[in-house]
Amino acid sequence: MSVEKKAKKNSNWFKIIKTVVSVLLIVAILVGIYLANTMLQENDRIVNNIMGAKYYEINNDGADTEGLDLEYNKSDYTAEEIKTAEEDLNMRIAGEGTVLLQNEDNLMPFSQDTTFSFFSVNSKNISTSASGVASMMGGEVVESIKTGFESRGLAVNNDLWEFYANLTDYGLGPGSIGFGDEEDFSINEAPLSLLEGEDGLLESVEGTIPVFVLKRVAGEGRDMPRSMYNHTGIAEDKEKNYLELDSVELELIEYLNENFEDVVLLVNSNAALELDWVEDYPSIKSVVYAPAVGNYGLNALADVFAGNVNPSGRTVDTFAANTLDSPAAQNFGS
């Protein structure tokens, strides 16, 4: 092939490539124009906000508003009244939302001269919010269940209260605080032997109403464990799930059942715990289900015990005798 023909052929290929590229660019431009006139038009406010553009502005500074009522949304409360209103609403929700699961022999409500002995290290940290910790919305949180009961004229066994209040090495783990190794679903209840080792402590419970506080916590980002294998050092508890009583809790329940005629079980958990075991302990006459009670709900809980409020709540879920019997349970906890 001559040099002239070769140059002419290369020129033709260049024109073809140039034409194809031009056509592709035109198609891309047309597609871009189409998208800009469809998608951007629907999202023009978002695009303008991102780019900091202002395409219109209304200024009514010069408008004559004399005689006009410009308070379109009037509050039912003054700034001074709102806190009291929030407190009242919280207590009504907590009190009327409390569920009386069982009340044999009409044990509840109690008279004003009743003294309560709160068992379990969890009694000093009743959950007030869904995540198991206190919320500060709406004002100061009622300090404790002891404070709440005493505000209603009910007495609390101070010896037992101080015993649990001073324990630092026991109590529920924070649950699903993260992922992997950060989760902690340990129950870590203070054993009966610890109470027996305190001179006169169990004797101080005589003549009072024992209240065992059963608590569990959980939150976003993690299922509760089907097995306690990674959350306990007690061999017999490793095969249990988080919604069961562990051996330490059972030992305390058995002690109360054997030594007292009237026992109250206070369930403080947003999860539906396994409670089939209650029927094995006839001294447990009353079972009160009080999940997250809110900032002022501990006062309302005291009102329930004193008979000032009717605990007319109902369960919103099924409490399974064995959680793992549910087919759905096979898909959580991993």
Give the per-residue SS3 of the chain. Answer: CCHHHHHHHHHHHHHHHHHHHHHHHHHHHHHHHHHHHHHHHHCHHHHHHHHCCCCCCCCCCCCCCCCCCCCCCCCCCCCCCHHHHHHHHHHHHHHHHCEEEEEHHHCCCCCCCCEEEEECHHHHCCCCCCCCCCCCCCCCCCCCHHHHHHHCCCEECHHHHHHHHCCCCCCCCCECCCCHHHCECCCCCCCHHHHHCCCCCHHHHCCCEEEEEEECCCCCCCCCCCCCCCCCCCHHHCCCCCCCCCHHHHHHHHHHHHHCCCEEEEEECCCCCCCHHHHHCCCEEEEEECCCCCCCHHHHHHHHHHCCCCCECCCCCCCCCCHHHCHHHHHCCC
259 shares a domain with 197: yes
101 shares a domain with 43: no
Q: Give domain status of residue 207, yes or no.
A: yes
Q: Give domain status of residue 57, yes or no.
A: no
269 shares a domain with 212: yes
How far apart CA 236 and CA 226 sit, in angstroms, is 15
> Which residues, 6+ apart, have CB-to-CB distance to 228 below 8 Å?
185, 187, 237, 238, 239, 240, 241, 242, 246
325 shares a domain with 197: yes
Are the C-beta atoms of residues 287 and 99 closer than 8 Å to each other?
Answer: no
41 shares a domain with 106: no
User: Digits of tens for pLDDT over the chain (334 positions)?
Assistant: 565 655 566 677 778 888 888 888 888 888 877 776 776 666 777 777 777 776 667 888 888 888 888 888 888 888 889 988 988 999 999 999 999 999 999 999 999 999 999 999 999 988 876 444 443 333 455 679 999 999 999 999 999 999 999 999 999 988 765 555 567 899 999 999 999 999 999 999 999 999 999 999 876 666 788 889 989 999 999 999 999 999 999 999 999 999 999 999 999 998 889 999 999 999 999 999 998 888 888 999 999 999 999 999 999 888 889 888 888 887 776 5
121 shares a domain with 42: no
**Locus of tokens 């289900």:** 289
Q: Enumerate the β-bridge partners of residue 99.
A: 289, 312
Q: What CATH number is attached to the domain comprising 234?
A: 3.40.50.1700
Q: Give domain status of residue 60, yes or no.
A: no
Total structural domains within the chain: 2
Biggest distance spanned by C-alpha atoms of the chain: 120
22 shares a domain with 150: no
28 shares a domain with 151: no
45 shares a domain with 92: no
pLDDT given for residue 61 in this prediction: 83
41 shares a domain with 180: no
pLDDT given for residue 135 in this prediction: 36
Q: Give domain status of residue 218, yes or no.
A: yes
Are the C-beta atoms of residues 268 and 213 closer than 8 Å to each other?
Answer: yes
Please give the residue range of the domain that contains residue 24. 3-51
Strand 209-215 with 115-119, pairing: parallel
Are the C-beta atoms of residues 186 and 233 closer than 8 Å to each other?
Answer: no
Q: Give domain status of residue 166, yes or no.
A: yes
211 shares a domain with 152: yes
26 shares a domain with 114: no
Q: Give domain status of residue 80, yes or no.
A: no
> Which residues, 6+ apart, have CB-to-CB distance to 247 below 8 Å?
234, 236, 237
Q: Which two tokens stand for residue 220?
A: 């976003």
